[in-house]
Structure 1
Amino acid sequence: MTNGTQLPAYHFDTQRVRAGYEPTEHNNAVSPPIYQSTAYDFKDVEHARNLFSFQEAGNLYTRVGNPTVAVLEQRVAALDGAAGAVALASGMAAISYTLLNLAEGGGRILASPYLYGGSADSFKKVYPKLGIQFDYAKNILNPEKLAEEITPDTKAVFIESISNPNTVLLDVDAIAKAAHEQGIPLVVDNTIATPYLFNPIAHGADIVIYSATKGLNGHGNIIGGLVLESGSFNWESEKFPQFSEKYYTLRESNGNHRSFPEVFPDFPFTTRIRFNYLNYFGAAIGPFDAYLAIIGLETLSERLTKQSQNAVTLAEYLNAHESVEWVRYPALEDSPHHTLYQRDFKNGAGGILSFGFKGTQEQREIFLNAIRLFHYHVNIGDARSLIVNSPQTTHGELEADEKAAADIPENLIRISAGLEDPADLIADLEQAFQKATK
């Protein structure tokens, strides 16, 4: 099990390279080994008994735990100041297991309207058939009024720390306060920010979700996700009866059944995901993918710093361009989110920005087809710079009224700034603008 609070209190840049791994426990290998093994031998019958009764920590089967995956879990938990973490096969698995764990048996989730299109589409297509309904908060930008939208059946508030694609910033502290006053947790998808730019738990979040596919890994070569918990929320309240349920599989040696908070008091949320949803739904991240994520984390600060700097440069260039209607990026002084950016994002606003193309649909498509250096696809957080027409791709699932609620106009183009020289990126955009508008 992963307990980030037991790790040494090193600074962030030490933790991203060293947390969760002790070479002497792995034949003195400097880099974490890839444990490409399905299962693990028991020392003897007593060892097996202790593992299955949770009297002893160890490895049973890679679907629910693997030494390489454990390094990833512990390292990200350390960076976020989390009590526990569980790594999964994708960011969508992290979202789905979190929501199912929260609203098992039915309930409502109060969600920000500013979300990734895949999240929003799953909220209307999948979860209602499982008894989970979603309400989109009208007061997410005015948290003092958020309590008016929380019903007795609301199980959580769900937001993104930096929204995709509009880079909307929210007052996470105030939203957490509003949620806690109503006895429900705050869930923050921190994929774009990563723990380097923003630490949701330090601002009151109870659950943090990542698509490790994006900035955490940063090289566009894995699919992965994580769920983390703060360790401070009371999961034994009447609102979450599933956490007080006692299981035979958690029994004591004398046969008494126990609940997850009883067995894992510091991190019941993520262990319940591990042994219920991960164990039986099976979205396990492979050890090689976990290894690549670990290697990506080692350069997290440098990558996010350079990407943030490149994004600022691109945003300023676009903001002054005659073929651009508007630019959305929190570091710009004219951004409506600039005050929150200055307060909460000391290391930068990340590599994601969007702009409105001033021209016809045909010109917009000529512009995108003329791009040479940027990669035209739907990922974000890559070392390479990416560009995409989000309303027609990543958010193409949204209907017109849903796009309007999320403030995603049809002329929006999203950029994920990479690590190239910004002068080359600007030159590429400029030649594409010239071809589109001649």
Structure 2
Amino acid sequence: MSNNWEKGTICIQGGYSPKAGEPRVLPIFQTATYKYDDPDHLASLFNLEAAGHLYSRISNPTVAALEEKFAKLQGGVGALATASGQAAVLYAILNICKVGDHIITASTLYGGTVNLFTVNLKKMGIEVSFVDPEASKEEILALAKENTKAVYGETIGNPGLNILDFDKFAEVAKELKVPFLVDNTVGTPYLCNPFEHGVNVVIHSTTKYADGHAQSVGGIVVDGGNFDWANGNFSEFTEPDPSYHGIKYVETFGNAAYITKLRVTLGRDLGACQSPFNAYLTNLGLETLHLRMERHSQNALELAKWLEKHPKIKWVNYPYLETSPEYDRAKKYLKGGASGLLTFGIDGDIEAAKKFTKALSLVALVVTLGDVRSCLLHPATTTHSQLSEEEQIASGVTPDLMRVSIGIEDINDIIADFEQALSVI
């Protein structure tokens, strides 16, 4: 398999190379376990001395093909697929942090991640400091503590649609000698490669654009292989692990230490693995990621331009609009488009927004994003409803904000649906 393929080719043929007489298309290995002929070989698998599959909670051939494809697409050294995007976020943090540790994160995050950080990580003894992503480098560094273990953010904030200043946050992480973790779900591997901008670990909810058809829930953690885990701040990567007879992850696995430790400890013990069937569906979706992201981005930009001119629309936010404050940063970090999310505010009250939503025909009221089908929701009363008003504002959610995930239908039909729905208010 070539290491020089373009992303479109990796989408289609990466991760799986059939031998003569084998299935041309990645099969579903719907199995929990595997057969062995030699007890010593099985023992070596359990001791991490040999490569292979021993139980599908830890690895599976179908899931492994998806992981390899995603690692190649994103430019990492390895990946671990999980049962959901939320599991991927949790695993990525827990692989670094323990009770008493601390992380710094941009405040503009998906509501579920905010809740994970403020409620459940707190219960686990991990403290999280939120910072305005537009704060200065010095202001962010001022939040650091002796126990700070990571810096976190989202490529494109959901639903604020701010573009993360990778360079600034990467500088903060380097000064603190901690890894920089980024959720690239909305950015996708096709439009953005965070590893090119100082990021060390990339996270995705594969439920969204990776799958692309709203059929399978999943997540993935990708290791950039570009962080020094032996810098003295992460003893679990350099000291012997008693659960594997004293193995030392950096010494044994080199630049793949992070993803290996994630798989054989958290993957093994917490068990939020992605099913082979969901991995199969996600891999199938990835085969058209490059084509879909071009159309998602094109449609979103055209609708945003149309909405800007509509008298019943107060404001429109899409990073590739030349009028957007995010435009220059979007052009710097994103290649070929700003994905399929846009937000807008209707010139009217909440009742007007409800009338508009009910009048939509093609665009559905759905709690997701990244689908081939266009959908819409009101984050303040749905995805971010568990947050306080202050937390909502900090994450980029205003009371009048409507979030649209633009699909890949004909843009003329999408615009016509918006036009008829706006006519009722």
Q: Identify whether the pair has TM-score above 0.5, normalized to the shorter chain.
A: yes
1:66 maps to what in 2?
A: 60
2:422 to 424, 427, 433: 433
**Counterpart-to-counterpart distance in 2, 1:64 and 1:418:** 34
> 177-186 or 190-199: which moved more?
177-186
Name the SS for the 1:311 alignment partner.
helix
**Counterpart-to-counterpart distance in 1, 2:113 and 2:105:** 10
Matches within 5 A, 1:156-305: 156-251=150-245, 257-305=246-294
Q: Percent identity?
A: 38
Distance 1:264 1:7, change over 3 A: farther
Q: Which amino acid aligns with 1:21?
A: Y
The size of the alignment, in residue pairs, is: 425
Q: Deviations over 1:375-429 (max 9, x none)?
A: 2111000000010011111111111111122231111000000011111111111
> 263-272 or 194-203: which moved more?
263-272
1:416 maps to what in 2?
A: 405
Distance 1:407 1:55, change over 3 A: closer
Q: Which amino acid aligns with 2:396?
A: D
**Counterpart-to-counterpart distance in 2, 1:431 and 1:148:** 50
**Counterpart-to-counterpart distance in 2, 1:276 and 1:212:** 22
**Counterpart-to-counterpart distance in 1, 2:259 and 2:412:** 44
2:12 to 8, 11, 17: 17
Q: CA deviation at 1:7?
A: 6.1
**Counterpart-to-counterpart distance in 2, 1:178 and 1:217:** 33
Name the SS for the 1:23 alignment partner.
coil
2:320 maps to what in 1?
A: 331
Q: Deviations over 1:133-169 (max 9, x none)?
A: 1111135453464322222221111100011012100
**Counterpart-to-counterpart distance in 2, 1:270 and 1:368:** 43
Q: Is contact 1:156-1:184 (8 Å) kept? A: yes
Q: Which amino acid aligns with 1:367?
A: F
1:3 maps to what in 2?
A: none
Q: Which amino acid aligns with 2:129?
A: D
1:134 maps to what in 2?
A: 128
1:254 maps to what in 2?
A: none
Distance 1:7 1:209, change over 3 A: farther
Q: CA deviation at 1:97?
A: 0.9
Does the alignment pair 1:78 with 2:72? yes
1:317 to 306, 310, 314: 306
* TM-score, normalised with respect to structure 1: 0.94
1:8 to 3, 20, 25: 3
Which ranges in structure 1 are unaligned for 5 or more consecutive residues?
A: 1-5, 252-256
2:29 to 26, 35, 42: 35
Q: CA deviation at 1:8?
A: 2.2
Q: Which amino acid aligns with 1:89?
A: A
Q: Is contact 1:143-1:171 (8 Å) kept? A: no
Q: Is contact 1:228-1:270 (8 Å) kept? A: yes
**Counterpart-to-counterpart distance in 1, 2:38 and 2:242:** 23
Q: CA deviation at 1:44?
A: 1.0
Q: CA deviation at 1:282?
A: 0.8
* TM-score, normalised with respect to structure 2: 0.97
Distance 1:7 1:231, change over 3 A: farther
> 135-144 or 74-83: which moved more?
135-144
RMSD of Structure 2 on Structure 1 (CA): 1.5
**Counterpart-to-counterpart distance in 2, 1:122 and 1:131:** 12
Which ranges in structure 2 are unaligned for 5 or more consecutive residues?
A: none
2:51 maps to what in 1?
A: 57
Q: Deviations over 1:328-369 (max 9, x none)?
A: 111111111101112222210000010011101111111111
Q: Deviations over 1:181-222 (max 9, x none)?
A: 210111000001111000001111001000000001100000
1:45 to 33, 39, 51: 39
